[in-house]
């Protein structure tokens, strides 16, 4: 399931901003983006994700800023420029160079000051990173739950459509059986013009083929799968893979119904059921 969460911790010494994003995936994948100084925490952060989140492709990004005093920074830069100019003058004399020293030469020797506050990590900082990460994860989970609720409503709506269409098949069975019986009779009569056939044998053949075309078992299994699907959706824990399996079993039974129906009105119903089931299967790809 897709989702996004972020959290920020502001302290007098530094600020931590954490973003967590998730995309659909059959498995759990983690990509951690954080400053080089904090690579020691990469495994711990991956463990946080796997402990609190299920299936998905996750990207976790951490940005840690150490604010600097701008006035002090400017002063350091000016002093560095003056010192570099003196060093260039000495070098010019030693090498007996007559060319003048320009501002471009001085700027090329400039190295920007770094904040020494980031050179060491205090033990407390991991606790703060962990707590802030958990806040971002919780926000992502909330978004996923909201998406899950919307998916649940849509899937249940389509399951109800499948149930309605399944119920519409039974009233058509009497006319379907009569249609198949008449079709078989016509075929046998055409055949009997060239071959002499016993009347009792003809009736036995008709009964055999009617039994072969019977869809009672498929309807019962389809109903059982629909019931199991609804019960599984009501379970308190995530059941995405189980629902995908049940949907596959439903697909198998509905296909068999369509193959055995041999009656236009029922086949029209089956086409609608297949269409709704495909939409359900697409939605299930987004469920954990």
The closest alpha carbon to 62, from 87, 83, 42, belongs to 42
CA 210 to CA 5: how far, in whole Å?
A: 60
274 pLDDT band, cuts 50/70/90, is: very high
Whether 167 shows a pLDDT value over 90: the answer reads yes
5 burial via Cβ count (<10 Å: 0-12, 13-18, 19+): buried
Whether 243 shows a pLDDT value over 90: the answer reads yes
Same domain flag for 134 and 30: yes
**pLDDT of the residue at 75:** 64
Same domain flag for 169 and 272: yes
Residue 119 domain-assigned? no
What's the average model confidence in pLDDT over 135-141? 93
CA 258 to CA 256: how far, in whole Å?
A: 5
Residue 136 domain-assigned? yes
Same domain flag for 161 and 132: no
**90/279: higher pLDDT:** 279
What's the average model confidence in pLDDT over 53-77? 73
Answer for the pair 68, 115: CB distance below 8 angstroms, yes or no: yes
Partners of 58 in beta bridges: 22, 30
Same domain flag for 216 and 88: no
Give the neighbor-by-neighbor strand order of the sheet with 15-23: 3-10, 15-23, 56-65, 28-33
Same domain flag for 201 and 280: yes
Answer for the pair 1, 147: CB distance below 8 angstroms, yes or no: yes
pTM above 0.85, yes or no: no
**pLDDT of the residue at 28:** 87
Read off the pLDDT of residues 2-30 as tens digits, 9 standing for 90 and up: 889 999 998 887 788 999 999 888 788 89
Q: What is the CATH number of the domain that holds 14?
A: 3.30.230
Same domain flag for 7 and 139: yes
How many helices (H) and strands (E) would you count in the chain? Answer: 9, 4
- Most confident by average pLDDT, 64-73, 130-139, 254-263: 130-139
What's the average model confidence in pLDDT over 150-166? 94
Residue 46 domain-assigned? yes
Same domain flag for 7 and 109: no
Same domain flag for 35 and 156: no
Q: Is 20 helix (H, G, I), strand (E, B) or coil?
A: strand
Residue 239 domain-assigned? yes
Same domain flag for 36 and 96: no
**pLDDT of the residue at 186:** 77
Residue 158 domain-assigned? yes
Answer for the pair 61, 33: CB distance below 8 angstroms, yes or no: yes
Same domain flag for 130 and 242: no
196 pLDDT band, cuts 50/70/90, is: low
Q: Which residues contact 280 (CB under 8 A, 6 or more apart)?
A: 155, 158, 159, 247
The closest alpha carbon to 2, from 213, 111, 144, belongs to 144
Contacts of the segment 204-209: beta carbons below 8 A, 24+ positions apart: 206/181, 209/180, 209/184
**82/110: higher pLDDT:** 82
Domain count, the chain: 3
Residue 216 domain-assigned? yes
Residue 9 domain-assigned? yes
Same domain flag for 228 and 239: yes
Answer for the pair 59, 89: CB distance below 8 angstroms, yes or no: no
Same domain flag for 223 and 101: no
Segments forming the whole domain that contains residue 128: 3-68+124-143
145-184 core/surface letters (b: 16 or more CB in 10 A; e: else):
eeebeebeeebeebbebbbebbeebeebbeebeeebeeeb
Residue 154 domain-assigned? yes
């Amino acid at each position: 399931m897709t989702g996004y969460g972020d959290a920020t911790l502001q302290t007098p010494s530094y600020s931590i901003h954490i973003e967590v994003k998730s995309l659909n995936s059959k498995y759990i994948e983690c990509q951690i983006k954080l400053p080089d100084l904090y690579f020691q925490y990469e495994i711990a952060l991956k463990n946080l994700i796997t402990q609190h989140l299920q299936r998905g492709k996750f990207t976790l990004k951490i940005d840690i800023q150490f604010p600097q005093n701008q006035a002090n920074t400017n002063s350091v830069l000016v002093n560095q420029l003056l010192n570099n100019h003196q060093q260039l003058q000495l070098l010019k004399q030693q090498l007996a160079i007559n060319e003048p020293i320009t501002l471009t030469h001085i700027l090329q020797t400039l190295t920007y000051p770094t904040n020494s506050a980031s050179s060491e990590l205090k033990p407390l900082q991991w606790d703060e990173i962990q707590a802030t990460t958990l806040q971002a994860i919780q926000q992502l989970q909330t978004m996923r739950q909201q998406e899950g609720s919307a998916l649940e409503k849509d899937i249940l709506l389509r399951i109800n459509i499948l149930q309605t269409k399944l119920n519409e098949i039974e009233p058509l069975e009497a006319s379907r059986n009569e249609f198949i019986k008449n079709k078989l009779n016509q075929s046998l009569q055409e055949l009997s013009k060239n071959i002499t056939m016993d009347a009792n044998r003809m009736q036995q053949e008709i009964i055999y083929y009617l039994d072969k075309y019977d869809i009672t078992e498929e309807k019962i299994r389809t109903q059982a799968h629909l019931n199991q699907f609804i019960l599984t959706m009501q379970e308190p824990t995530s059941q995405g893979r189980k629902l995908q399996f049940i949907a596959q079993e439903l697909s198998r039974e509905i296909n068999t119904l369509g193959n055995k129906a041999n009656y236009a009105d029922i086949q029209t119903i089956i086409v609608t059921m297949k269409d709704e089931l495909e939409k359900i299967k697409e939605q299930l790809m987004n469920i954990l």
